Amino acid sequence: MPDAVLSMANRRVTVLCTGDLHLGRYPARVPTDEESLSVRHVWSRIVDRALEMEVDLVALTGDVIDRANRYFEALGPFQSGIRRLGEAGIDVVAVSGNHDFDVFTSAADVADDDRFRLLGRGGRWESLRLRGDYGEIRVVGWSYPTQHVLRSPVGDLQLQPDDEVLTIGLLHADLDAPSSRYAPVTSSELGAAGVDLWLLGHIHAARSMELGGTAVALYPGSPQALHPGETGTHGPWIVEVEMGKAPRFRQLPLATVAYRTVEVDLEGVEGDEEFRSAVPLQVLEDLRRVVEGSEGLARVVYRLRYTGRTELHRRLEELSQGLVEDWEEHYDGVVATVDEVESQTAPPIDLEELAGGEDPPALLARALLAIRDGGDDGEAGRLLARVRKALEEVYRGNAYRPLLRGGDSPEEIGDEQVRRVAWEEGLKLLDALREQRAGRGGGGGRER
pLDDT in tens, 1-46: 333 333 444 478 999 999 999 999 999 999 989 999 999 999 999 9
Closest to 330 (Cα-Cα) out of 275, 280, 279: 280
Considering the domain architecture, whether residues 317 and 381 belong to the same structural domain is answered as no
Kindly state whether residues 196 and 291 are assigned to the same domain: no
Domain end, chosen from 315, 345, 375, is at: 345
Which tens digit of pLDDT belongs to each residue from 399-409? 554 444 444 44
Task: Please check whether residue 1 lies inside any domain of the structure.
Answer: no
In a domain, 3, yes or no: no
Does 362 lie in the same domain as 402?
A: yes
Contact 84, 90 (CB under 8 A): no
How high is the pLDDT of residue 8? 44
pLDDT tens digit string along 187-238? 999 999 999 999 999 999 999 999 977 789 999 999 999 999 999 999 999 9
Other beta carbons less than 10 A from residue 395's beta carbon: 17
Distance CA 254, CA 222 (A): 11
Q: Both 294 and 361 in a single domain?
A: no
- With respect to residue 427, please indicate whether it lies within any of the assigned structural domains: yes
Contact 5, 131 (CB under 8 A): yes
Model confidence, pTM: 0.79
Whether residues 99 and 163 share a domain: the answer is yes
Out of 192, 226, 251, a domain closes at 251
Q: Any idea what DSSP says for residue 382?
A: H
Helix-strand-coil split of the chain, %, nearest 5: 35, 25, 40
Average pLDDT score over residue span 80-104: 96
Domain boundary (326, 345, 364) is at 345
User: Which of helix, strand or coil describes residue 108?
Assistant: helix
Verify that 54 and 196 share a domain, yes or no. Answer: yes
- Is 2 within the bounds of a domain? no
Q: Let me know if residue 155 belongs to a domain.
A: yes
Tens digit of each residue's pLDDT (9 = 90 or more) over 195-209: 999 999 999 999 999
Look at residue 414 in the predicted model and tell me its pLDDT.
80
State residue 339's pLDDT score.
94
User: Once rounded to an integer, what is the mean pLDDT over residues 286-310?
Assistant: 93
Question: Rounded distance, CA 81 to CA 304, Å?
Answer: 37
User: Which class for 413: exposed (0-12), middle (13-18), buried (19 or more C-beta within 10 A)?
Assistant: middle
**Confidence grade of residue 142 (pLDDT, cut at 50, 70, 90):** very high
Q: Is the dihedral of CA 90, 93, 99, 102 positive or negative?
A: positive
Asked if 322 and 361 sit in the same domain, the reply is no
Could you tell me which residues come within 8 angstroms of residue 432 by beta carbon, excluding any fewer than 6 positions away? Answer: 314
**Does a structural domain hold residue 92?**
yes
**Which domain CATH number covers 172?**
3.60.21.10
Helix, coil or strand: residue 156: helix
Closest CA to 216 of 245, 237, 174, 252: 245
List the domain range (segments joined by +) for residue 340: 256-345
- Dist. CA 203–CA 172, nearest whole Å: 9
How much of the chain, in percent, has pLDDT values that exceed 70? 92
Rounded Cα distance between 302 and 258, Å, is 9
Asked if 14 and 107 sit in the same domain, the reply is yes
When divided into structural domains, the chain yields a total of: 3
The verdict on 88 and 215 lying in the same domain is yes
Are both 173 and 275 inside the same structural domain?
no
The DSSP output letter for 401 is: G
The verdict on residue 118 lying in a domain is: yes
Which of 416, 415, 411, 405 lies closest to 392, judged by CA? 411
**In sequence order, which residues have a C-beta less than 8 Å from that of residue 92 and are 6 or more positions away?**
57, 58, 59, 60, 82, 85, 86, 113, 115, 116, 117
Whether 28 is in a domain gets the answer yes
Bridge partner list, 335: 299, 330
On whether both 41 and 189 belong to a single domain, the answer is yes
246 and 262 in one domain?
no
**C-alpha distances in Å from residue 391, one per residue of 103, 417, 419:** 38, 10, 12
